[in-house]
């Protein structure tokens, strides 16, 4: 734990130019017999249209039980992203939501996730990950405190790293999270809710609202 109470977890090191290879499973291989019960697979995320978000900078996303929902927004290169989430009142103790920012050169992404509880606490989790390889390079967790239901996420690219704010409070990202922008760029944004596949009461059909969504590059407006 850092001296400021935050947690920076370094899980691997990204090596630019290194090719990662996953060897295919031999056709003759069979898993050993087991009496263990196979767990139910995690449902694939649902992907929905993004027209209102792109054209108006706002939309509503239904919260579905045990199901992540995604809005995938193709973009040109960008250096600023902002979005305001309003969480619905539900019986679920902790809900998660946020944005993922693509980095095509390395195939990685920055995920900015809010985990919020109406019991009175919230945290922001900023992760650099390679989803296809199943690799997390680092993860930074900061307590937001207070809970609530409205969270404004602001992201910006800086000279050698990134800046993340939630409701005006800056995440304590360490210099270890520096990114080589001689190669890396940010392109494509994914908005997500319920990535942890929490169970929603069948009598509830709540919606997240996403407003003030915009994407800029060098001061030029890309969205909306």
Per-residue pLDDT tens for 68-94? 999 999 999 999 999 999 988 787 888
Q: Which helix (H) or strand (E) holds 152?
A: strand 150-157
pLDDT at 20: 36
pLDDT at 24: 46
**Global confidence as pTM:** 0.79
Whole-angstrom CA distances from 104 to 12, 75, 110, 130 are: 19, 12, 11, 11
pLDDT at 93: 80
148 DSSP 8-state letter? -
- Is residue 185 over pLDDT 60? yes
- Is residue 98 over pLDDT 80? yes
Per CATH, domain 44-56+70-223 is 3.90.180.10: no
pLDDT at 88: 87
SS3 category, 15: coil
Question: Which whole number is the average pLDDT over 129-150?
Answer: 88
């Amino acid at each position: 734990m850092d001296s400021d109470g935050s947690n920076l977890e370094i899980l691997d090191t990204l090596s630019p130019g290194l090719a990662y290879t996953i060897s295919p499973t031999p056709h003759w291989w069979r898993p050993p017999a087991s009496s263990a019960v196979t767990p139910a697979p995690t449902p694939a995320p649902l992907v929905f249209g993004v027209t209102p978000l792109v054209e108006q900078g706002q939309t509503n996303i239904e919260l579905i039980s045990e199901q992540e929902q995604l809005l995938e927004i193709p973009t040109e290169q960008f250096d600023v992203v902002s979005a305001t989430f309003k969480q619905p009142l539900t019986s679920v103790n902790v809900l998660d939501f946020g944005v993922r920012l693509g980095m095509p050169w390395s195939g990685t992404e920055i995920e900015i996730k809010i985990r919020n509880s109406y019991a009175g606490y919230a945290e922001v989790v900023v992760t650099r990950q390679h989803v296809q390889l199943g690799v997390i390079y680092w993860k930074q967790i900061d307590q937001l405190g207070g809970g609530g239901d409205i969270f404004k996420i602001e992201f910006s690219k800086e000279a050698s790293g990134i800046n993340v704010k939630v409701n005006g409070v800056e995440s304590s990202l360490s210099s270890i999270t520096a990114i080589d922008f001689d190669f890396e760029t940010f392109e494509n944004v994914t908005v997500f809710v319920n990535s942890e596949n929490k169970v929603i009461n069948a009598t509830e059909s709540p919606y997240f609202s996403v407003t003030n969504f915009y994407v800029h590059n060098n001061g030029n407006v890309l969205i909306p």
